[in-house]
Amino acid sequence: MMRGALIVLEGCDRVGKTTQCVKLIEKIAAENGKSSLLKFPERSSLTGQLINDYLSNKLELSDRVVHLLFSANRWETEAQMKLLLKSGTNLIVDRYAFSGVAYSAAKEGMDIEWCRGPDIGLPRPDLVVFLDLDPRTAASRVGYGEERYEHRRFQEVVRENFLKLKEDNWKV
């Protein structure tokens, strides 16, 4: 059986990742393909609940601790991801380790190389689609500003970090 493709959608807040993920799933289904949607952070697990409280400003955690929690949250899904890929299911992933690095490294004293470490060894995407949007346009979209990282200046640094992470398997 052919292995499924691992396709990751990345980008700053409110650029439309979730919308495009759903469209991609529908498109694959229309062509009789198998696909499954994953979203990180996966907020339902134990680490996910801590992350959710942190993002909604109900909980304070140090920058390094929350970075490691985001990474652990991905590792929790690793075995399931590998099984699905092996069974021929295409995985469409709404944020992945690149978000982990781009957001954490936008914080003072957090270094890109240090941030990369915990995710080393996770399945490598076949394709990363980076949705790029002017941070001013994103900031004008519904719901912007509700969570911890939704501030214009921070998002600008996150965007610059994402572009530093770009590899051969990326499409911007």
Enumerate binding residues for ligand 2DT (CB under 6 A): 13, 40-41, 55, 70, 95, 99-100, 103, 149
Nearer to ligand 2DT, 136 or 148 (CB): 148
- Say how far apart CA 134 and CA 153 lie, in whole Å: 12
Token pair listed for 75: 């590792």
3-state SS, residue 22: helix
C-beta of 87 vs 127, nearer to ligand 2DT = 127
Helix (H) or strand (E) holding 158: helix 152-165
Pairing status of strand 35-39 against strand 6-10:
unpaired
The residue (of 70 and 130) whose beta carbon lies closer to ligand 2DT is 70
Nearest distance from C-beta of residue 92 to ligand 2DT, angstroms = 14
- Name 10's bridge partners: 130
What is the smallest separation between the CB atom of 161 and ligand 2DT, expressed in angstroms?
A: 11
CB of 165 to ligand 2DT, least distance (A): 12
**How far, CA to CA in Å, does 147 sit from each of 7, 37, 81?**
26, 23, 28
* Structure token pair of residue 171: 């499409």
Closer to ligand 2DT by Cβ: residue 35 or 99: 99
Q: Please, what is the minimum distance in Å from the beta carbon of residue 103 to ligand 2DT?
A: 3
